[in-house]
Structure 1
């Protein structure tokens, strides 16, 4: 499965020259011993020849000496062959060990480098491997996971435990399934989980493998892209509809006024006719206001971009919304960090965003409450940002509604048009900023507006009306 780059062994040629050297040494040793034996026999024969006769027992001793010499030579040869075999076996073992360590190191490095969380379990449910990405996703250290049964790590009701139970006991695996997950940090996130059977070298099941990836940011980005696509498609439609309706509406409004004046001059208006004409005039004004909203949402317009002083804008909005807040028994609070840098944009547009957001907060606090506006500077992604946070103690937003907040014409209020936050989203996008909403139903809502700070560097900003 893992094939490391072949490593050249330092003494790869040792067996060949070692065997040649050993056999040459043995040959030299045996030759030397034979020479010594022959010389010794020759001296013995010379000594016996001086006496005139050679005893027969001395020949037997000489042959025994030769046999002993051959036996010693054979023993030396066997010992040398064993030594050569041991050296060869050791070299093969060392090469196999190096290859195994290289394979294990490669597998370990691959496992640790994979950005997706990997968790493996054996057939008994014991966790056998964890990579660093899994520690981050599951908010647990490897020391708390390795060697432990998954039932003791993940509490009953935990989505990871349910997935592992299903895969290990029922042999039912999931593929790319997004699940809500809350780790030890108590932060709600979305993780994408996949399980598969883990097979051993014999081809049989050796457990299961789980892949987990935090896709919270990905899903948020996909949602923003979907909203942006819908806004882009509606820009042209809204502009066309508003333009086509404004002309006949203006004609209707004008002719209603002329009809009212004509009837008043001739014989006076009856009470019921006057009532009907007032209703028609009111509806024309309401339709005109709706068309103005459409034009603000869709019609691009040129505005002079300049440095906007955020504290001044917040002070103005607070004074503007103060009267309505008092009527609704809402306590307004604001906190602005000292030395806040300006942002580049249109002051009217930024004010409109704050008004729309605060108006939604007011509607969420029917029985009164607190609305707090904070502004501070932070640094991220290589630049400075001005963050404006609007928080309230209202009824909050349901989870199924948060995903649709910035969609045009989507509203949970009976009297709402569903364009307030859509317009705010577009203004923030045109200013190079972002808008994020977090809420817990029944506990209030927090809206975060992020503007890139003006640092004197050229930056492309398109502001639309």
Structure 2
């Protein structure tokens, strides 16, 4: 082998080594969960790993991609500063391709060319966990308050109720007169108000101390059918019709029949109270590989858009005589079943409640995984 051939062979071996190193580095970048983007000072994307494409929803199609198209929150001035040697870190909320919270760290790349490396971390699960933690702490603080309220008010309310009942019995034995009738009416009003206060406390404690679910394999529509049968006469009196559009055979779920009856009762009663002059409650079902979904819709008064986000908060109510705990109870019951609840409403058009429960086999896999 002459000198020229030997030199060519060395170059080929060096290229193979570089190719192997490049493949190894590319493999590492593909396995990293954080998105990595390399861009020049003009915003042209020179490299992006799979995680970055997934988080920001773009693909290399042969055209030159620019940072302004996929991350318009970063302006050209900031990018030039980074390429010039100034690192930067910011957090964004993006809507495409999915709603996410991301952290973007930008740092200059050492070298002759002005380039920047952008590292993107998905904070969505972290933010959701933090939000759930805040919600749990809020409920815990309300629970502590509830115990004190129940202790302080329970006994006096019971005492007042007993004495009002005795007063009514005494009035019934007295000679009737207009004044006595008015007194009786006042005592009856007081008695009803005391009963209402007692009911608020019981609902309050039930919302924050729900019974432990007694899971069994059930058809999720069975408790709903029993609830509708229980409310049948009241529905007829209010001229409210029930329309049911369900799959022929829904998958089973692991559910607590009594808790689900309470859930359906709360939701159906809400729908009934939203329709003063009669109407229609539509019930629909569907399912996929993971969840059984049930929707309950009414054509009642609906809810203002600025109130929907507060609908599951304790004490928040759109009713003049509501205690603001019904939807909170509903939410807690659904969560205890590993499901989710959503709401869509339009003022003067109606409201749809969407329930989603894990299929029995899916729920079992999740429990075993835990």
- TM class by shorter chain equals 0.7 to 0.9
Question: Which residue in 2 is equivalent to 1:334?
Answer: 244
Question: Which residue in 2 is equivalent to 1:106?
Answer: 24
Q: Output one character per residue of 1:261-288: Cα deviation in whole Å (capped at 9) or x when no partner.
A: 4466577654554444233212211111
Q: Output one character per residue of 1:396-454: Cα deviation in whole Å (capped at 9) or x when no partner.
A: 6747853x544433445554323112212322333x32123154766854422314438
Give 2:256's match in structure 1, choosing from 312, 330, 346: 346
**Aligned residue runs from structure 1 range 223-302, under 5 A:** 223-235=131-143, 237-239=145-147, 241-262=149-170, 270=180, 273-299=183-209
Q: Distance in 2 between matches of 1:425 and 1:302?
A: 15
Which region of structure 1 is more displaced relative to structure 2, 220-229 or 264-273? 264-273
Q: Distance in 2 between matches of 1:189 and 1:365?
A: 35
Distance 1:396 1:191, change over 3 A: farther
Could you tell me how far 1:346 is from its partner in structure 2? 3.3
Question: Which residue in 2 is equivalent to 1:163?
Answer: 74
* 1:213 matched to 2:122: yes
TM-score by length of 2: 0.75
* 1:447 matched to 2:365: no
Distance 1:235 1:105, change over 3 A: same
Could you tell me how far 1:352 is from its partner in structure 2? 1.4
Question: Which residue in 2 is equivalent to 1:117?
Answer: 35
Q: Output one character per residue of 1:339-371: Cα deviation in whole Å (capped at 9) or x when no partner.
A: 334444432310211232344455667898764
Q: Distance in 2 between matches of 1:116 and 1:422?
A: 37
Distance 1:281 1:173, change over 3 A: farther
Q: CA RMSD in A?
A: 4.3
Larger-Rg structure: 1
Distance 1:300 1:147, change over 3 A: closer
Question: Which residue in 2 is equivalent to 1:388?
Answer: 294
What number of residue pairs does the alignment pair up? 359
**Aligned residue runs from structure 1 range 43-442, under 5 A:** 83-84=2-3, 86=4, 89-90=7-8, 93-94=11-12, 96-143=14-61, 147-150=64-67, 153=69, 160-165=71-76, 167-168=78-79, 175=89, 177-183=91-97, 189-202=99-112, 205-207=114-116, 209=118, 211=120, 213=122, 215=124, 219-235=127-143, 237-239=145-147, 241-262=149-170, 270=180, 273-299=183-209, 306-319=216-229, 332-361=242-271, 371-380=281-290, 385-391=291-297, 395=302, 398=305, 401-402=308-309, 404-430=310-336, 432-437=337-342, 439=344
- Provide structure 2 residue ranges, at least 5 long, that are not aligned to the other structure: none
Question: Which residue in 2 is equivalent to 1:8?
Answer: none
- The answer to whether the 8 Å contact 1:239/1:299 transfers is no
- The answer to whether the 8 Å contact 2:43/2:79 transfers is yes
TM-score by length of 1: 0.62
Distance 1:377 1:400, change over 3 A: same
- Provide structure 1 residue ranges, at least 5 long, that are not aligned to the other structure: 1-17, 19-82, 155-159, 461-465
Q: Output one character per residue of 1:132-164: Cα deviation in whole Å (capped at 9) or x when no partner.
A: 2233233332216x523445x45xxxxx21334
